[in-house]
Amino acid sequence: MSMMKLTASALAIAAVSATAAAARDQVQVAGSSTVLPYASIVAEAFGENFDFPTPVVESGGSSAGLKRFCEGVGENTIDVANASRKIKDSEIKACAEAGVTDIIEVKIGYDGIVFASQLNGPEYTAFEPADLFNALAANVLVDGKIAPNPHNQWSDFNADLPSEAILAFVPGTKHGTREVFDEKVIHAGCEATGALEAFKASGMDDKAADKACMELRTDGKSVDIDGDYTETLARIDSNANGIGVFGLAFYENNTDKLKVATMSGVEPKTETIASGDYPVSRPLYFYVKKAHIGVVPGLKEYAEFFVSDDMAGPSGPLSEYGLVSDPELAGTQSMVAEEKTMGSNM
């Protein structure tokens, strides 16, 4: 019966597959979707230049990547986790419990976070952290008192801004970008407007006041975007009065649709972010499992290639794509070469 043959071959295939599942010869990478483009550029060039196979790069978010990274040591776990934030102590602990103790932390450079709006939309060209706090926070300072955010238009609190209805698309809480946005923009704005003092004066301790500062309004004027920047772009496209939060690289690839606003008077550019003048930026990392070096072929070469001057240097392809090169790249290079793990040099 042909049916029998079909079943038999299906079983045979399944059996062959199960035995072949053991060996792995390519580096596996997962993690932050912000780091994904950089990692895939490196992986591609790595495959071109070395005899090792092209590393496998997946996204999924910093937290998801680090979680998989911390699942343990062995063929079935990933070798490298990309992250758009530093690994948390809780994650280091989870790693250690699963047997992942020696982790090499590699800082690849910086990523700027920019505020952009429709190219031909309203004149959103200059923001201060205080403006975004006044526009988006749940509770703001009105006449010296804490009150639920009453602002409907940007011009309600800053006459220099256009009189357009407030609408902002900010990254959802699962994004590493959101954390930076909360801390470097909203919290900074909270401090600048004096709301932080007012929160403290109302009897909150430091922690509660910080938290109250970073709470965003929920009346639909601040919209959380859980998807990628493409989704934010689509929302901006259909809402002329909206502003969106983007990565610098994404903005630079879509300058035909977006215009960017300065933050505290500084235009977001590779140079201003590298010098630290532009306030909203964050370091990008990847984490390497030391136990896999020497076991998975090409892992160390990949890590070294990633931070080499040719790739991550100021004129390399990563910086051409939008990464802000780390001025201390040389230190990172020697750290990777010596396989220094976290904690051993701190």
Partner 1 sequence: MTDATSTPGAMPHAAPKSSLLTLDSRVRRRNAAEARFRAYGIAAVSVGLIFLVFLLIAIFRNGIPAFTQTFISVPVELVEEKLDKTGNRDIEEIKKVSTFGYKPLLVDGLTTMLADAGIENPFEKPADVEKLVSASAVGQIRDYVISHPDAIGKTVEFRVLASSRVDGYFKGRVTRESLVRDKNLDAEHLDVSDALTESGQMKRSFNWAFIFGADASESRPEQAGIGVSMIGSFFMMLVVLFLSLPIGVAASIYLEEFAPKNKWTDLIEVNISNLAAVPSIVFGILGLAVFIQFVELPQSAPLVGGLVLTLMTLPTIIISTRASLKAVPPSIRDAALGVGASKMQSVFHHVLPLAMPGILTGTIIGLAQALGETAPLLLIGMVGFIASNAPDGIAAGFLSPNSAMPAQIYEWAKRADPAYYERAWGGIIILLAFLMTMNIIAIILRRRFERRW
Neighbour-count burial of 162, counting CB atoms closer than 10 A to its CB (0-12 exposed, 13-18 middle, 19+ buried): middle
* Cβ count within 10 A of residue 88: 13
Q: Which among 172, 164, 168 has a CA at the least distance from the CA of 189?
A: 168
Contact call for residue 89 and partner 1 (CB under 8 A): no
| Nearer of residues 227 and 265 to partner 1, judged by Cβ | 227
Q: Using the rule CB under 8 A, give the single segment among 11-19, 171-179, 192-200, 325-333 that binds partner 1.
A: 11-19
Choosing from 163, 173, 218, 255, the residue that interacts with partner 1 (CB under 8 A) is: 255
Contact call for residue 58 and partner 1 (CB under 8 A): yes
Contact call for residue 229 and partner 1 (CB under 8 A): yes
Contact call for residue 262 and partner 1 (CB under 8 A): no
User: Distance between CA atoms of 115 and 12, rounded to whole angstroms?
Assistant: 56
Choosing from 27, 41, 168, 274, the residue that interacts with partner 1 (CB under 8 A) is: 41
Contacts of 159 (CB under 8 A, 6+ apart): none
Q: How many residues bind partner 1 (CB under 8 A)?
A: 52
Contact indicator for 147, 139 with CB cutoff of 8 Å: yes
Taking the complex as a whole, how short is the minimal distance between the CB of residue 267 and partner 1, in angstroms?
12
Torsions phi, psi of 109, nearest 5? 155, -165
Q: Using the rule CB under 8 A, give the single segment among 158-166, 190-198, 214-222, 313-321 that binds partner 1.
A: 313-321
Q: Using the rule CB under 8 A, give the single segment among 43-51, 86-94, 197-205, 273-281 that binds partner 1.
A: 43-51
Contact call for residue 252 and partner 1 (CB under 8 A): yes
User: Distance between CA atoms of 107 and 117, rounded to whole angstroms?
Assistant: 30
Token readout for 48 is: 């071109």
28 Rama sector, left if φ>0, alpha if ψ -120 to 50, beta otherwise: beta
Residues that bind partner 1 (CB under 8 A): 1, 3, 6-7, 9-10, 13, 16-17, 20-21, 24, 26, 28, 30, 33, 36-37, 40-41, 43-45, 47-49, 51, 53-54, 56-60, 76, 227-231, 249-250, 252-256, 259, 310, 317, 320-321
